[in-house]
Each structure stands twice: as C-alpha cells, then as structure tokens.
C-alpha cells in the first residue's frame, strides 16, 4: 500500500515539476494551478524550483519594458520599408478574392475539403445535365448499305451467276443503294431518289443480270 | 511611453463604429487584410507585433541583421497569407509560429551554431552595449546562459517567460506535442540552474 502511495507521489511530483514555469506565469488551467499549489505546500524541492522559475520570470519582466521601447522605435523606423516591399509585390489575383467571397472557407488549409467536395458535386451535376440534354444526339454510321433512315422503293433479283463487281457497277451507275437483302428468295431492296425512280427502273430492267425489277409502291402518274 | 504607443495604435484610422465599440481585435485586423488588403489594419498589426517578434527572435539568435530580416519577412508573410489564417488558434500563435519557422530556416542558412560553449556564455555581451549597461549582472548572466541552450529550448523559455504563452500555445507555435514542450523546458531549467548556481557561488 505504501509503495503505491509513494509511486503516486513521485508521479505527482514529476508532473508538478514540469508545470511549474507556467504556474509562475499564471498560464495554467485553474485545475492544474490548484494541483501545483497543493503540491507546493509540502514539497521543499518544488518550492526551490519555483523560486528559480520566479527569478527567470522577474528578469524577463524587468527587461521587457526597456526592450519594448527599443523595439517600438525599430517598428516605427521599418514600417515604411515593409510598406514599400508590399507595394512592389504583384497584386493578388482578383478572381481569388471573388472566390474567397463566394466560398468563405476557400484558402483555409484545414477547411478546403468541403469546398472541393462542393465543387466536385457541382461538376457531377453539370455533367449529368449535359448527358441528359444530349441524349437524343443522332449517331451516324457509314455502313456498306444505305443508312437506316433510307426507305427502300425498288426490289430486284439478280441472276445466280452475277458477281459482286457486276452488282456494284449496276448499282453505282444508277445511283441505287442496297437497303436490305438478300431475302430468302435472293431479292435485294434498293433505295433510289424518288425523283429518279422511273428512269432508274427503266435502266435496271435493261440489265441482263437482273431477273426482276419492281417498284415497292405504286408509282404516281409523274413517275410513270 | 508604452501607454502612448497603445493609444497611437488604437487611434489609427479605424472606422468610427469599431473605434467607439473598441471591439476590434486581432482577428478583425487579419480579416480586413485578407479581404480588403487593408493597409491601415496591417500597420496596426505591424506596430503591435514587430516589437514582440524582435524581442522573441533576440532570444533565438544574437545576429541582429538576421533577427530584423526574419521579423520583416514574417510580417510580409502575414500580409500575403492572411487569407489562410484558419481561426483555430490565436493570431499571436499563428504569427509566432511563422517567425519561429523562418528563424530556424535563417539560422540554418547562416550556419549559425545553435548552442554555444559555457565559456562564451560567461563572456560579456557585445551585441548591444546599451542593453548591457542597463541590466544587472544577474540579468546579463541569465541572458548569456540562455544562449548555451539549444534553439528549441531557448524558444520555449522565451515564449513562456517573455511572452506569457501556455504550454499548449507553445506546442502550436513550435508545431510539436505539448509533452515535448514540457521536456524541453525541464532540460532547459536544469541547465540554467547549474549555470546560475555556478555564477552565484563565484559571486559569493
């Protein structure tokens, strides 16, 4: 039991010894001050330490006023110098000040995270709006056949022995494009300009490699 | 003299409302510098802090040009970085921590010894004769004994006894744990005690 009590006293003594300088300058919390005061009552060694601390404090205090006057003169003399140095500095960018007003925590080393997160969320929201508003954008593919939007208006059937080169020549010559096919029966659906459908059909019918050439919709009088 | 100066600082061109209420304080000055690049606010802060910084730095180095450079550089940083003051500490702690870092850097660059020999410490001070003439022998010995300590120990002594900071504020200023501050103070006191008792024996 005695050993425990001695240990506690030693710990308390060490703790108080560490705190003494700030006890003397009265910059401890009141709970710490009370602890030190209580310990000083019965600790001769700590009272000796406190005496040294008081000597240091008294010395510092007595030199302070004298030094202050010298240093005040120094500050008065050097203010113009530092003012000139500030004049020579490049002025702070205006946008940074505006940003600072908009986001008060901007520039604070420990408070920058909320600002960054806010900006990040704003960017994500803007990107979301952008994606939604551009959702209907049409994608154009350059495929072998005509685009999906082109409507077939002629159906043709080539002879079996017709080569691909021959087919390509006939189609290019008449400005026709394959829209679909071949179907199970070997037919191809072609798309040509409505204006030229009549002459194109006439030309295609003259091709020996074509077994059948028929318009898909009934042609009006103009076409005929 | 000091009272006159305080009146001068308080009477600087401050808005009427703030003068009347006398509620302007250091954080207001920092805010005005950060937001409006207010030179009047800076002048007040400069006149308040420059002398205190010089006083602090004098305990860290005996090199007068270095002390003056560091004090001015510190105040220039205050002007430039006022916007980054985060209000989690006192303005004084923030400014002193800048000065402390700047001073360590300047001492390192100047390759100044951070500790001196005991023999050097007992030699009469040569750096400011007018200061010595006005101080007692004990004061001189304490001043000289301080320079036998490491720059970190000197800083703790200076901030405690000359600037009245608590150990928590010193820890913030020196960017180290509070226990390190206590340990530095403990070793500094042991060393000073030996030096001073040697001096007192010699005197008797």
The closest CB to that of A56, out of B2, B131, B142, belongs to B142
Mean pLDDT over residues A37-66, rounded?
Answer: 83
Distances (CA, A) of A193 to A141, A180, A188: 20, 16, 16
Q: What is the pLDDT of residues A64-95, one digit of tens each?
A: 666 666 677 788 888 888 888 888 887 666 66
Residue B5: closest CA among chain A residues belongs to which residue?
A72
The predicted model gives A25-48 an average pLDDT of 91
- pLDDT of B117 > 60? The answer is no
| B185–A18 C-beta distance less than 8 A | yes
Tell me whether residue A206 is exposed, middle or buried, using C-beta atoms within 10 angstroms of its C-beta: 0 to 12, 13 to 18, 19 or more: exposed
Is B150 in contact with B158 (CB distance < 8 Å)?
A: no
Is 80 exceeded by the pLDDT of residue A214? yes
Across the interface, whether the CB atoms of B79 and A57 are under 8 A apart is answered no
- The answer to whether ipTM exceeds 0.90 is no
Q: Give A210's strand partners.
A: A158
- Tell me the average pLDDT across B84-106: 91
Q: What angle do CA B115, B53, B36 make, to 5 degrees?
A: 145
Which of A152-156, B5-9, B97-101, B145-149 is predicted least confidently?
Answer: B5-9
Sort out which chain A residues have CB atoms less than 8 A from B135's CB and list them: 63
Q: What is the pLDDT of residues A99-126, one digit of tens each?
A: 666 666 555 555 667 778 888 889 999 8
Residue A140 pLDDT: 55
- Identify the weakest region by mean pLDDT among A12-16, A93-97, B115-119, B172-176: B115-119
Q: Over the range B70-105, which residues count as b (16 or more CB within 10 Å of their CB) and which as e?
A: bbbbbbbbbbebbbebeeeeebbbbbbbbbbbbbbe
pLDDT of residue A107: 55
**pLDDT, position A55:** 83
Confidence (pLDDT) at A2: 55
Residue A213 to residues A63, A156, A206, A219, B39, Cα–Cα distance (Å): 116, 5, 10, 14, 92
Average pLDDT (B143-152) is 86
**Per-residue pLDDT at B104:** 92
Out of A7-11, A100-104, A175-179, A213-217, least confident range: A100-104
Q: Give percent above pLDDT 90 in chain B.
A: 34
Q: What is the pLDDT of residue B183?
A: 94
pLDDT band at B181 (very low <50, low <70, confident <90, very high): very high
pLDDT tens figures, A171-208? 998 888 888 888 877 888 888 888 888 889 899 988 88
Q: Closest approach of chain A CAs to the CA of B203, in angstroms?
A: 17
The H-assigned helical ranges of chain A are 2-24, 30-42, 44-88, 94-102, 112-133, 164-174, 197-206
Q: Which of A14, A50, A60, A105 to mutate to test the interface with B (most CBs of B within 10 A)?
A: A60
Per-residue pLDDT, averaged over B141-158, amounts to 88
CB B55 to CB A67 under 8 A? yes
Q: Which of B74, B92, B161, B182 to mutate to test the interface with A (most CBs of A within 10 A)?
A: B161
Considering CB atoms only, which of A19, A82, A100 is closest to B83?
Answer: A100
Q: Point out the residue among B51, B142, B189 whose CB comes nearest to the CB of A72.
A: B51
Cβ atoms A204, A210 nearer than 8 A: yes
Higher pLDDT, B204 or B127: B204
Looking at the predicted structure, is the pLDDT value of residue B95 above 90? yes
Q: How far apart are CA A28 and CA A16, in angstroms?
A: 11
Q: Please tell me which of the candidates A27, A63, A83 has its beta carbon nearest to residue B166.
A: A27
Q: Tell me how close the Cα of B16 comes to any Cα of chain A, in angstroms.
A: 24
- Residue A27 binned pLDDT confidence (cut-offs 50, 70, 90): very high
- Which pLDDT belongs to residue A68? 67
pLDDT for position A66: 61
Burial of B166 (0-12, 13-18, 19+ CB in 10 A): buried
Specify the higher pLDDT residue, B141 or A63: B141
Q: Across the interface, which of A69, A75, A85 has its CB nearest the CB of B50?
A: A75
Supply the pLDDT for residue A75: 81
Å from B50 to nearest chain A CA?
6
**How close does chain A come to B143, measured CA to CA in Å?**
9
Q: Do B54 and A107 touch (CB under 8 A)?
A: no
Residue A56 to residue B193, Cβ atoms within 8 A: no
Instruction: For residue B40, give the chain A residue with the closest CA.
Output: A83
Average pLDDT value for chain A: 79
Q: How many CB atoms lie within 10 A of CB B163?
A: 21
What's the whole-model pTM score? 0.59
| B46:A76 CB<8 A | no
More confident residue, A77 or B23: A77
Using the beta-carbon criterion (under 8 Å), do B39 and A60 form an inter-chain contact? no
Using an 8 Å Cβ cutoff, are B56 and B158 in contact?
yes
In this predicted structure, the answer to whether residue A139 has a pLDDT above a threshold of 70 is: no
Which helix (H) or strand (E) segment holds residue B114: the answer is: none
Q: Tell me whether residues A53 and B79 touch, CB distance under 8 A.
A: no
The reported pLDDT for the residue numbered B131 is 38
């Amino acid at each position: 039991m005695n050993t425990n009590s001695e240990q506690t006293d030693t710990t308390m003594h060490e703790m108080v010894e560490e705190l003494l300088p700030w006890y003397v300058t009265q910059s401890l919390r009141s709970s710490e001050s009370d602890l030190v005061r209580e310990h000083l009552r019965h600790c001769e060694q700590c009272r000796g330490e406190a005496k040294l601390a008081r000597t240091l404090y008294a010395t510092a205090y007595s030199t302070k006023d004298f030094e202050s006057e010298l240093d005040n003169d120094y500050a008065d003399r050097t203010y113009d110098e530092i003012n000139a140095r500030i004049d020579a500095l490049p002025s702070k960018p205006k946008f940074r000040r505006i940003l600072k007003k908009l986001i008060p925590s901007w520039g604070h080393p420990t408070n920058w995270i909320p600002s960054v997160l806010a900006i990040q969320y704003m960017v994500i929201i803007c990107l979301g709006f952008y994606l939604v508003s551009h959702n209907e954008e049409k994608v154009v593919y350059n495929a072998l056949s005509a685009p999906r939007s082109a409507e077939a208006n002629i159906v043709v059937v080539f002879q079996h022995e017709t080569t691909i080169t021959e087919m390509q020549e006939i189609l290019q010559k008449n400005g026709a494009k394959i829209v679909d096919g071949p179907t199970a029966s070997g037919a191809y659906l072609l798309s040509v300009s409505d204006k030229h459908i009549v002459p194109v059909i006439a030309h295609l019918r003259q091709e020996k490699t074509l077994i059948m050439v028929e318009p898909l919709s009934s042609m009006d009088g103009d076409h005929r | 003299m000091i009272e006159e100066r305080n009146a001068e600082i308080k009477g600087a061109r401050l808005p009427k409302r703030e003068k009347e209420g006398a509620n302007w304080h250091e954080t207001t000055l920092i805010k005005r510098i950060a937001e409006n690049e207010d030179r009047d606010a800076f002048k007040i802060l400069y006149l308040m802090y420059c002398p205190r910084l010089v006083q602090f730095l004098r305990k860290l180095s005996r090199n007068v040009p270095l002390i003056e450079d560091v004090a001015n550089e510190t105040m220039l940083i205050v002007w430039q970085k006022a916007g980054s003051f985060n209000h989690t500490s006192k303005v004084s702690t923030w400014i002193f921590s800048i000065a402390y870092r700047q001073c360590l850097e300047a001492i390192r660059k100047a390759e100044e010894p951070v500790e001196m020999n005991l023999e050097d410490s007992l030699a009469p001070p040569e750096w400011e004769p007018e200061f010595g003439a006005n101080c007692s022998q004990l004061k001189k010995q304490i001043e000289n004994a301080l320079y036998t300590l490491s720059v970190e120990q000197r800083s703790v002594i200076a901030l405690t006894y000359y600037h009245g900071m608590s150990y928590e504020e010193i820890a913030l200023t020196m960017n180290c744990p509070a226990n390190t501050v206590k340990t530095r103070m403990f070793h500094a006191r042991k060393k000073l005690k030996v030096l001073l008792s040697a001096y007192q024996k010699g005197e008797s």
